[in-house]
């Protein structure tokens, strides 16, 4: 085991290396932007055990701000790592753990003096953290790792990694500490063109074992979970995509549902219930909290700028009185939703005061905290966090990206499918191509400059076209962007940065396998000594620093349902993250691109390769 | 060595080994480092409870068995069975299992996940979810997975097309074949991984050793070469056709179709029916308990070696009646009266469960309940 000193030193070197690697990025992450442009972007909230201090996780500035919970006055500011995404207290509140998703680290803060006392290395893109009740183990959900890492609470040494759902991101510990619930934002792999599947991973935190996986059928995109104090009722916020049918029925709610799944002894099973209404949708349910007396469930809607209040008693009564399924019964929510409280822009994390009289909500995109009187069900105070006075064009673009207000009845926004500005792991049947035609895999939005044109058929020459007329025509069905809004949105999307590549060493050096793979990628002669035609070389189509020639080719992957078998060459950056592959997502893994879908060497000359050589090629691709 | 020659010799050896030896005059060598000689009376006795399709097992042909606390996993020809709280539950391809025939099992002791090597790929069973890796959807070298072992974040796999390693953190697959190891045949039958070394049992190519620190492969061969006559008995591996390996406490136990070997890093010690308590030289599996003790799974019964003495548990080869025999350091064989035995004498695997054992046989799974 490394000493703390050497561990910190290695982290320092690693971070420096990551910065060097980042030099080629299209944009710096928010936390590294010039100070005058750094918005706090509050993402998650905690109250100190005595309820007097409000801890605010500021994703944009990379810090934790400690506020007087009553007045909102800043008591302390604690710098943490890049793109912090989750935090939690140790059982007694003596330590605060913060996970830094771009650094793959945990910052350990002594809450007595509000200073960082340790930095631990963890898995790929840590997004949530919880310590067990015994104070022995720290659990961390790793979004890219698709796992829950188990760290020794005293040393930070990793003891195990538990396989979780794909895109593991949020952890919730039962009040008695007996169970830990993990949720994930991307669906688990399923056969092509079958309904998505997700899960609630239930962990025994005392023994670091997965004891159950509660199935979430037809769900893709699961966010926070909450469990009642008595442990008898659990709830998760989630998305219910309808991606197997043509996106032709926006007016009938045929694109995305915004739902909860409730579980636990109070309901006896897992039950999905809608949050939307007949003529109004509440996009991107994100944070959830259950009142101490279990009378209410509170849900933030990151795309609808509001908090939904559910009457728990009515909800359970309704569930018991109606046979399933009713996830798509938009009349249902009227029976148990008792309030919709408007808050700030892009509300995310929320926390209830100890007595349950106040609900604090972090509004990520306007740097405010809404304080809700839970009895009156209205905002009684808005705490403004320090930051730039001016709302920049970039910031306005981000607000546009996350709101669902432009879509018909507020059904969805850009971020409903590009979750946290990435992708959703799904394939969609977009209407204009014809019903059942041109099924397309959703692509990652990172470092897009220089990857034009867009769409799999290469039909859109720029982001402005992609997000302008195209979007207005058949996505929103309603309000269009004005020129400034579109310009801001394009600016934001063009500046979405490339996250650090976890498979490339900090110093940029390739491993022997990656080096062998690079040689295969760049080769011009096959193993039989025959020249490989230009168009059949990996590096010809996937050329340049981003791995795309920006041209379209027929690589033999067209299907009978495709209008054309000529496809845009996708960029390769962070390709390891974006399974499934090919234009329609038919290749479950990178391997299948060549083991299944390249029988005639049209997608590069690969059939002369042995299995280990193919593995080498993939190892190299994952460094791109 | 060509497989056809091996198989021909194997058949001959199998015939020869079928001649029962009731008494041997050659005393077994004491294992170096043994502090005190165990007594014959201390050899463990069991009451065997047998499971077949009649009481919940999905198939009587059991290739592999694994014990994790109160859970017992049985890899059968028709699915993976889990036994807990007196109930059997079966996982099949409908649940996502790679193939119905489960050849090997390994536990990730850090997570409780079970890895199953099948005739159609590798599956991980985690909290009821099954993730499957095949030669088409992953870097796995072959879908025929004979052996699997977990060490830290690495899963080591023995396949019909060589050895593999999956790094569960990075997802990287590393393949090891004749091209980058001293492996001459690529038919990897078994694997045993530890923090310092990883051993592969290679069918027809001896024992392969990977040093985790130096990342260098080494190879142990039968010093008699491809001869089936043992000229140099304790000078090296007993035979090239290695079917199973178990690395424990810095000691390698190897099973072959022509006897068993024990290697402590310096000295070899080999076991044959003619000079040990092995009931047959045809071994399917070996499980080391520690430096001195091991279980041997043969085609003629289950054998236990305590470093000095031997015990054999099986149904009598002629009558099928339960049988237990012990053989002491002087080669004296004593019959112990017993009323139960493993379900069949063709033993494919054994797993330890505290004082108890679980035994995979060709005709059912047996729970050996220790009798103090």
Name the pLDDT band for A35 (thresholds 50, 70, 90): low
- Kindly state whether residue B272 falls inside one of the protein's structural domains: yes
Contact B173 A123 (CB under 8 A): no
Compute the distance between CA of residue A409 and CA of residue A402 in angstroms, rounded to an integer. 15
CATH code where residue B90 lies: 2.130.10.10
Which of A163, A513, A576 comes nearest B126 by C-beta? A163
pLDDT over threshold 50, residue B18: no
Residues 190-229 of A with CB under 8 A from B: 199, 201-202, 207-213
Which pLDDT score is estimated for A34? 58
What is the mean pLDDT of the segment spanning A477-483? 80
Name the pLDDT band for B34 (thresholds 50, 70, 90): very low
ipTM for the complex shown = 0.90
Which pLDDT score is estimated for A36? 58
Which pLDDT score is estimated for A253? 74
pLDDT over threshold 50, residue A24: no
What is the mean pLDDT of the segment spanning B119-126? 98
Number of domains present in the structure of chain B = 1
Which is nearest to A535 in space by CA: A519, A516, A518, A554? A554
Identify the domain containing residue B158 by its residue range. 46-370
What is the mean pLDDT of the segment spanning A243-259? 85
- Mean of all residue pLDDT scores within chain B: 90
- Kindly state whether residue B15 falls inside one of the protein's structural domains: no
pLDDT over threshold 70, residue A526: yes
- Kindly state whether residue B230 falls inside one of the protein's structural domains: yes
Q: What residue spans define the domains of chain A?
A: 41-393, 512-621
pLDDT over threshold 90, residue A15: no
Contact A612 B177 (CB under 8 A): yes
A201: closest chain B residue by CA? B127
Which pLDDT score is estimated for B39? 80
pLDDT over threshold 70, residue B26: no
pLDDT over threshold 70, residue A519: yes
Which is nearest to A251 in space by CA: A278, A219, A285? A278
Which pLDDT score is estimated for B364? 98
Higher pLDDT, B228 or A296: A296
* Angle (CA) A138 A142 A143, round 5°: 155
Compute the distance between CA of residue B302 and CA of residue B325 in angstroms, rounded to an integer. 11
Which pLDDT score is estimated for A323? 86
pLDDT over threshold 90, residue A80: yes
Which of B113, B161, B177 comes nearest A163 by C-beta? B113
For an interface test with A, the pick among B94, B175, B181 (most A C-beta atoms closer than 10 Å) comes out as B175
A43-52, A354-363, A437-446, B34-43: least confident range: B34-43
> For residue A417, what are the CA distances in angstroms to A370, A442, B233, B330?
26, 8, 68, 76
What is the mean pLDDT of the segment spanning B101-105? 98
Cβ of residue A515 closer than 8 Å to a chain B Cβ: no
A241-255, A316-330, B136-150, B236-250: least confident range: A241-255
Cβ of residue B84 closer than 8 Å to a chain A Cβ: no
Which pLDDT score is estimated for A433? 73
Name the pLDDT band for A3 (thresholds 50, 70, 90): very low
Which of B124, B131, B175 comes nearest A612 by C-beta? B175
pLDDT, tens digit, 9 for 90 and up, residues A328-375: 889 999 999 999 999 999 999 999 999 999 999 999 999 999 999 999
Residues with Cβ within 8 Å of A130's Cβ and at least 6 positions away in sequence, in order, are: A88, A138, A139, A171, A172, A173, A180, A205
Which of B126, B153, B173 comes nearest A210 by C-beta? B126
Which pLDDT score is estimated for A250? 79
Q: Which residues in chain B have Cβ-Cβ distances shorter than 8 Å to A598?
A: none
Name the pLDDT band for A4 (thresholds 50, 70, 90): very low
Which of B127, B137, B173 comes nearest A201 by C-beta? B127
- Kindly state whether residue B236 falls inside one of the protein's structural domains: yes
Helix A611-621 × helix A512-522 angle, to 10°: 90
Percent of chain A beyond pLDDT 90?
Answer: 84
Residues with Cβ within 8 Å of A12's Cβ and at least 6 positions away in sequence, in order, are: none
Which pLDDT score is estimated for A2? 37
Question: What dihedral angle (degrees, nearest 10) is formed by the CA atoms of B178, B181, B182, B186?
Answer: -40
Which pLDDT score is estimated for B23? 37
What is the mean pLDDT of the segment spanning A29-56? 83
What is the mean pLDDT of the segment spanning A315-327? 91
pLDDT over threshold 90, residue A435: no
**What φ, ψ does residue B95 adopt, rounded to 5°?**
-90, -5
pLDDT over threshold 90, residue A474: no
Which pLDDT score is estimated for A247? 83
Contact B175 A160 (CB under 8 A): no
Compute the distance between CA of residue B95 and CA of residue B93 in angstroms, rounded to an integer. 5
**Domain at A512-621: CATH architecture:** Orthogonal Bundle (1.10)
Percent of chain B beyond pLDDT 90?
Answer: 85
Percent of chain B beyond pLDDT 70?
Answer: 88
Cβ of residue A510 closer than 8 Å to a chain B Cβ: no
CA A471 to chain CA centroid, nearest Å: 22
Long-range contacts of B162-171 (CB under 8 A, 24+ apart): B162/B186, B162/B188, B163/B188, B163/B191, B163/B200, B163/B208, B164/B139, B164/B140, B166/B122, B166/B133, B166/B138, B166/B139, B166/B140, B168/A161, B169/A123, B169/A145, B169/A161, B170/A502, B170/A503, B171/A576, B171/A622
CB B142 within 8 A of CB B162: yes
- Kindly state whether residue B20 falls inside one of the protein's structural domains: no
Number of H helices, E strands in chain A: 11, 32
pLDDT, tens digit, 9 for 90 and up, residues A368-402: 999 999 999 999 999 999 999 899 999 999 999 99
pLDDT, tens digit, 9 for 90 and up, residues A148-207: 999 999 999 999 999 999 999 999 999 999 999 999 999 999 999 999 999 999 999 999
Which CATH number is correct for A41-393, 2.130.10.10, 3.40.50.150, 3.40.109.10, 3.40.50.1820? 2.130.10.10
Name the pLDDT band for B40 (thresholds 50, 70, 90): confident
> What is the distance in angstroms between the Cα of B248 and the nearest Cα belonging to chain A?
21
**What φ, ψ does residue A514 adopt, rounded to 5°?**
-65, -40
Contact A160 B179 (CB under 8 A): no
Name the pLDDT band for B15 (thresholds 50, 70, 90): very low
Compute the distance between CA of residue A66 and CA of residue A111 in angstroms, rounded to an integer. 10
């Amino acid at each position: 085991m490394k000493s703390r000193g050497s561990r910190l030193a290695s982290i320092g070197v690693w971070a420096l290396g990551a910065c060097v690697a980042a030099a080629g990025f299209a944009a710096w992450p928010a936390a590294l932007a010039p100070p005058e442009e750094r918005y706090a972007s509050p993402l998650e909230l905690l109250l100190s055990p005595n309820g007097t201090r409000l801890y605010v996780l500021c994703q944009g500035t990379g810090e934790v701000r400690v506020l007087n919970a009553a007045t909102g006055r800043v008591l302390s500011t604690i710098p943490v790592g890049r793109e912090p995404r989750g935090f939690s207290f140790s059982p007694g509140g003596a330590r605060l753990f913060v996970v830094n998703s771009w650094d793959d680290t945990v910052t350990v803060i002594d809450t007595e003096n509000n200073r960082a006392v340790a930095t631990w290395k963890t898995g790929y893109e840590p997004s949530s953290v919880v310590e067990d009740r015994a104070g022995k183990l720290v659990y961390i959900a790793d979004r890219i790792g698709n796992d829950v890492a188990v760290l020794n609470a005293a040393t930070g040494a990793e003891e195990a990694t538990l396989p979780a759902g794909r895109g593991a991101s949020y952890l919730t510990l039962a009040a008695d500490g007996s169970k830990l619930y993990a949720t994930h934002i991307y669906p688990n792999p399923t056969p092509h063109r079958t309904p998505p599947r997700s899960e609630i991973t239930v962990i025994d935190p005392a023994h670091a074992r997965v004891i159950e996986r509660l199935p979430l059928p037809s769900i893709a995109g699961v966010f926070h979970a909450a469990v009642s104090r008595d442990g008898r009722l659990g709830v998760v916020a989630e998305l219910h995509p309808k991606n197997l049918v043509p996106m032709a029925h926006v007016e009938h709610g045929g694109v995305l549902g915004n739902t909860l799944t409730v579980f636990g002894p109070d309901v006896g099973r897992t039950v999905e219930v809608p949050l939307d209404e007949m003529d109004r949708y509440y996009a991107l349910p994100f944070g959830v909290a259950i009142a101490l007396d279990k009378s209410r469930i509170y849900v933030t809607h990151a795309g609808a700028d509001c908090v939904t209040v559910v009457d728990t008693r009515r909800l359970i009564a309704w569930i018991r009185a109606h046979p399933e399924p009713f996830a798509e019964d938009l009349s249902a929510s009227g029976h148990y939703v008792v309030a919709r409280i408007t808050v700030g822009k892009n509300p995310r994390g929320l926390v209830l005061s100890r007595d349950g009289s106040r609900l604090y909500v972090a509004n990520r995109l306007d740097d405010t905290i809404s304080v809700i009187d839970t009895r009156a069900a209205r905002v009684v105070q808005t705490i403004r966090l320090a930051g730039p006075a001016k709302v920049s064009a970039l910031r306005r673009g981000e607000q546009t990206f996350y709101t669902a207000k432009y879509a018909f009845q507020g059904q969805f926004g850009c971020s409903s499918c590009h979750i946290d500005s990435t992708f959703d792991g799904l394939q969609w049947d977009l209407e204009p191509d014809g019903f059942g035609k041109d099924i397309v895999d959703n692509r990652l939005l990172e470092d897009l400059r220089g990857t034009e044109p867009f769409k799999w058929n290469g039909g859109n020459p720029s982001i402005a076209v992609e997000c302008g007329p195209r979007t207005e025509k058949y996505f929103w069905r309603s309000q269009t962007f004005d020129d400034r809004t579109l310009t801001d949105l394009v600016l934001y999307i063009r500046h979405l940065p490339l996250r650090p590549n976890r498979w490339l060493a900090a110093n940029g050096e390739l491993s022997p396998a990656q080096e062998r793979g690079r040689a295969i990628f760049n080769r011009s002669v096959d193993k039989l000594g025959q020249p490989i035609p230009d168009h059949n070389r990996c590096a010809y189509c996937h050329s340049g620093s981003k791995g795309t020639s920006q041209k379209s080719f027929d690589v033999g992957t067209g299907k009978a349902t495709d209008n054309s078998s000529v496809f845009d060459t996708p960029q390769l950056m962070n390709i390891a993250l974006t399974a499934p592959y090919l234009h329609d997502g038919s290749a479950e893994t990178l391997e299948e691109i060549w083991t299944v879908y390249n029988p005639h060497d049209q997608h590069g000359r690969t059939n002369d390769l042995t299995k280990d050589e193919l593995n080498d090629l993939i190892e190299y691709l994952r460094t791109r | 060595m060509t497989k056809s020659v091996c198989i021909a010799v194997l058949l001959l050896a199998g015939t020869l080994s079928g001649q029962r030896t009731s008494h041997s005059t050659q005393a077994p060598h004491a294992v170096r480092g043994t502090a005190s000689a165990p007594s014959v009376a201390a050899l463990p006795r069991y009451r065997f409870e047998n499971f077949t399709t009649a009481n919940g097992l999905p198939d009587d042909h059991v290739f592999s068995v694994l014990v994790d606390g109160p859970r017992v996993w049985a890899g059968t020809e028709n699915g993976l069975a889990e036994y807990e709280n007196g109930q059997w539950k079966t996982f099949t391809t409908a649940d996502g299992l790679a193939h119905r025939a489960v050849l090997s099992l390994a536990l990730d002791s850090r997570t409780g996940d079970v890895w199953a090597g099948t005739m159609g790929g590798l599956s991980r069973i985690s909290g009821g979810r099954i993730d499957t890796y095949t030669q088409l959807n992953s870097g796995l070298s072959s879908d025929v997975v004979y052996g699997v072992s977990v060490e830290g974040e690495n899963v080591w796999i023995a396949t019909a097309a060589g050895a593999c390693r999956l790094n569960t953190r990075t997802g990287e697959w590393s393949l090891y074949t004749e091209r980058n190891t001293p492996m001459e045949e690529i038919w990897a039958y078994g694997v045993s991984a530890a923090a310092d070394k990883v051993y592969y049992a290679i069918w027809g190519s001896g024992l392969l050793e990977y040093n985790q620190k130096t990342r260098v492969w080494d190879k142990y061969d039968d010093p008699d070469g491809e001869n089936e006559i043992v000229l140099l008995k304790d000078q090296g591996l007993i035979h090239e056709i290695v079917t199973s390996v178990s690395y424990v406490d810095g000691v390698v136990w190897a099973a072959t179709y022509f006897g068993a070997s024990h290697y402590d890093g310096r000295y070899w010690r080999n076991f044959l029916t003619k000079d040990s308590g092995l009931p047959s030289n045809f071994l399917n599996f070996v499980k080391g308990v520690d430096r001195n003790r091991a279980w041997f799974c043969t085609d003629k019964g289950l054998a236990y070696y305590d470093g000095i003495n031997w015990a054999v548990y099986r149904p009598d080869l002629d009558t099928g009646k339960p049988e237990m025999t012990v053989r002491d350091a002087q080669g004296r064989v004593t019959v112990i009266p017993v009323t139960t035995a493993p379900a069949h004498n063709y033993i494919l695997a054994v797993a330890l469960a505290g004082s108890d054992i679980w035994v995979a046989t060709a005709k059912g799974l047996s729970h050996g309940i220790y009798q103090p």
